[in-house]
């Protein structure tokens, strides 16, 4: 049995013009429109974890990036008009917190640590979550709320800030990630 692959006959070989066309096509696919893109997946809804996606999204927009932030599971709360102003800091699970975990687990402790953090945010003139969201929206950041988790959490599409895109799913996020220069899961 011969395993030799016969050389392609001269008739099958692509012409120089065909090759040049294919190279152009591939280069065009690489180039896109030259627009830099960032895609962030935001999955967390605690006060501390709401900041990184919003800070990076607004900063990337300032750099001229086209930014999409896909919010899913607890990340939806960041876009939720009522909930976004009341995001909480967990008093357990982080050994750097000023109270030991065993104390942090007592009823009401999340409220205490959240107030402490909110006071620090206020004292430092750190932007609030709402300010960052509104600034990002003004700068053209696209915020997407995952449809599957909207339904899972019993939220309504009207619960979210104006300008938030609903009716999107994992395939939309995947497409954005595939097109993006920077992809982050927060």
Nearer to another protein, 34 or 107 (CB): 34
Nearer to another protein, 141 or 150 (CB): 141
DSSP string over the chain: ---PPPPPPTTTSPPHHHHHHHHHHHHHHHHTTS--EEEEEE---SHHHHHHHHHHHHHHHHTT-EEEEEE-GGGGGGTBTTTGGG----SSS-TTSSS-HHHHTSTTHHHHHHHHHHHHHHHTTPPPHHHHHHHHHHTTPEEEEEHHHHHHTT--GGGBPTT-EEEE-HHHHHHHHHH-SEEEE-
Residue 81 C-beta: closest distance to another protein, Å: 22
In the list 39, 58, 91, 113, the residue contacting another protein (rule: CB under 8 A) is 58
Residue 78 C-beta: closest distance to another protein, Å: 16
Strands ordered across the beta sheet of 37-42: 165-168, 142-146, 66-71, 37-42, 182-185
Per-residue contact track with another protein, 140 to 169, x per CB under 8 A?
Answer: ------------------------------
Residue 127 C-beta: closest distance to another protein, Å: 5
Per-residue contact track with another protein, 10 to 49, x per CB under 8 A?
Answer: ----------------------------------------
Nearer to another protein, 135 or 149 (CB): 135
Residue 109: name the closest of 121, 120, 98 by CA: 98
In the list 18, 32, 122, 138, the residue contacting another protein (rule: CB under 8 A) is 138
**Binding-residue total with another protein (CB under 8 A):** 15
Per-residue contact track with another protein, 85 to 124, x per CB under 8 A?
Answer: ---------------------------------------x
* Cα separation, 66 vs 151, whole angstroms: 28
Q: Does 125 bind another protein (CB under 8 A)?
A: yes
Interaction site with another protein (CB under 8 A)? 55, 58-59, 61-64, 124-127, 132, 135, 138-139
């Amino acid at each position: 049995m011969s395993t030799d692959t016969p050389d392609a006959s001269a008739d099958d070989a692509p012409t120089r013009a065909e090759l040049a066309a294919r190279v152009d096509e591939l280069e065009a696919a690489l180039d896109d429109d030259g627009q830099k893109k960032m895609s962030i997946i935001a999955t967390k809804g605690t006060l501390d974890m709401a900041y990184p996606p919003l800070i990076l999204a607004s900063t990337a927009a300032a750099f001229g990036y086209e930014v999409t932030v896909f919010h899913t599971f607890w990340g939806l709360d960041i876009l939720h008009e009522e909930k976004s102003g009341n995001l909480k800091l967990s008093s357990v699970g982080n050994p750097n917190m000023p109270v030991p975990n065993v104390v942090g687990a007592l009823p009401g402790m999340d409220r205490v640590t959240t107030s402490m953090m909110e006071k620090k945010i206020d004292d430092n003139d750190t932007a609030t979550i709402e300010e960052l969201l509104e600034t990002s929206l003004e700068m053209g950041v696209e915020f997407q709320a995952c449809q599957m988790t909207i339904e899972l959490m019993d939220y309504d599409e009207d619960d979210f800030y104006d300008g938030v895109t609903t009716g999107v799913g994992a395939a939309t996020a995947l497409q954005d990630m595939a097109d993006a220069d920077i992809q982050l899961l927060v």
